[in-house]
Amino acid sequence: MNTTDSTLWPYLTPASAHGDDSLCGVSARGHRIRYADGRELLDGSSGLWNVNLGYGNDAIADAVADAMREASYLSAFRYENVYARRAADDLVQVAGPDHYAKVLFSSSGGAANDMAMKVARHFHALAGQSRRDLVVSMRGSFHGLTFGGFALTGEELGQRVYGVDQRLVRHVEPDSVTDLETLFSRGAERIAAVVVEPVQGTGTVPLSEEYVCELLRLRDEHGFLLIADEVATGFGRTGAFFATHRWPGQPDLLITSKGLTNGTCPASAVIASRRVAERFAEHDAVLTHAETQGGSPVPCAAISATIAEMRRLNAVARARSLGERLAAGMDALVAELPQVTEATGMGCFRTLGVVGPDGSPLSGEEVAALVAAVRDAGALVHPGPGGVQLIPALTYGEEELEELLGAVREGVLSHHAALSTRPATGVTA
């Protein structure tokens, strides 16, 4: 297709690439995607980190189809429906019913972050603490591109260009206990919540045990809400159903999306602790948040079916085993290839650091070229800071993992060769 003929405006794609058949998916099954140019590629990114159980899962497809026929639309806006009730019950059970009590449904990770900030500020207002209005997140974090989530996001992605209001948001260095304690010493009474990704998605860097313990201690001392953004890390991605299940204490709000419906329907959820739910119940309070599709039957049917399939496939245990083999394979690439400098991450959520011929970090343009080189070698990977992210489905087989690592190896070598033969730029005397 000629790019000038394309009416679709795809996300985060330059206009020159609109209409490119090599980027236009046609179908997907198992762990492979077929494109309009005829190529079929191994998916090493689980879609957009959300197809944890592979494409075309029949049980989830049947549940969605049944919900469409039986209750094509029922609202959770001033009403309830049995699909939303069932999905909420299922989520509380996998999150931990001893700690969690209520579920708010949304339609995306960004919108769920918006909602969580509302819950936090409202929670404190109900206790007469309306000055608690600041929300803290980490530099380099990603919490979505809606205006609230975009404000929370710690990456510089043009927030000023778009007029995003960040006056009530503070960003601190990730994993820096000193930075966190300095912030609290200057005005803990205004902090409504701290939002963290258990594994910072941009570079797949896990929070340290020391940092998590300090967050929990400060929460107990100062009373803010601790919010875990598990949009990327939930549903087995790190080798536990939720990454926070490994923490010595649990967050007050847990945000989940991505793997929630195995990529079949737009959905997200904020799972609220008993501490939060009880305060709203005590005041019979109404949270001012609602979405037309939040909690409607089709995505909720997909959520319940995905949780059932996670159990049937023993997906969390499989993710732990696959994650160990993935880590070993990435470490082998670091040992073999001098241009591969590090492997970070947890479970099936990892990043491979790559440098150029002169040892310098790859630029954004060079990372894009590396992703393209791996694609030419037969696999899809996600760009990361100075390298590529490997985020396979939890249901990969051993041969598929070897195929993915082989494509990455071939792509790195091809990319390195291309950089090495690139003409030098600059003016010489």
Please write the tens of the pLDDT for every residue from 5-56: 899 999 999 999 999 999 999 999 999 999 999 999 999 999 999 999 999 9
Name every residue whose Cβ is closer than 8 Å to that of residue 251 and which is 6 or more positions away in sequence: 225, 226, 227, 228, 244, 273
Joined together, the tokens standing for residue 88 give 């909420």
246 neighbors 212 (Cβ within 8 angstroms): no
Residue-by-residue DSSP string for 159-191: TTTTT---TTEEEE-TT-HHHHHHHHHTTGGGE
State yes or no: pLDDT of 2 exceeds 80: no
Q: Identify the pLDDT of residue 429.
A: 34
258 neighbors 232 (Cβ within 8 angstroms): yes
SS (H, E, C) 57-105: CHHHHHHHHHHHHHCCCCCCCCCCCHHHHHHHHHHHHHHCCCCEEEEEE
Instruction: Note the pLDDT tens digit of each residue in 372-392.
Output: 999 999 999 999 999 999 999
pLDDT band at 1 (very low <50, low <70, confident <90, very high): low
Q: What value, to the nearest 5°, has the Cα angle with vertex 47 and ends 45 and 48?
A: 85
State yes or no: pLDDT of 422 exceeds 90: no
The mean per-residue pLDDT over the stretch 171-193 comes to 94
Strand order in the sheet with 225-229: 100-106, 268-273, 253-256, 225-229, 191-196, 134-138, 169-172
Cα separation of 64 and 58, whole Å? 10
Closest Cα partner for 390 from 341, 335, 337, 322? 322
State yes or no: pLDDT of 303 exceeds 60: yes
Cα separation of 12 and 281, whole Å? 42
Instruction: Note the pLDDT tens digit of each residue in 100-157.
Output: 999 999 999 999 999 999 999 999 999 999 999 999 999 999 999 998 999 999 999 9
**Location of each CATH 3.40.640.10 domain in the chain:** 58-312
The percentage of residues in the chain with a pLDDT greater than 90, rounded to a whole number, is: 94
The mean per-residue pLDDT over the stretch 209-233 comes to 97
Closest Cα partner for 405 from 329, 327, 338? 329
Q: What is the mean pLDDT of the chain?
A: 95
152 bridge partner residues = none
pLDDT band at 419 (very low <50, low <70, confident <90, very high): very high
Could you name the CATH architecture of 3-56+314-420? Alpha-Beta Complex (3.90)
Closest Cα partner for 198 from 188, 183, 217, 211? 211
**Location of each CATH 3.90.1150.10 domain in the chain:** 3-56+314-420
Higher pLDDT, 3 or 305: 305
| Amino acid code (one letter) for 265 | C
Q: Identify the pLDDT of residue 427.
A: 40
State yes or no: pLDDT of 4 exceeds 90: no
Q: Identify the pLDDT of residue 426.
A: 46
Instruction: Note the pLDDT tens digit of each residue in 309-361.
Output: 999 999 999 999 999 999 999 999 999 999 999 999 999 999 999 999 999 99
What is the length of the chain? Answer: 429
Cα separation of 89 and 93, whole Å? 6
Q: Is 262 left (phi over 0), alpha (psi -120 to 50) or beta?
A: left
Can you give the pTM of this predicted structure? 0.95
Instruction: Note the pLDDT tens digit of each residue in 230-268.
Output: 999 999 999 999 999 999 999 999 999 999 999 999 999
Could you name the CATH architecture of 58-312? 3-Layer(aba) Sandwich (3.40)
102 neighbors 116 (Cβ within 8 angstroms): no
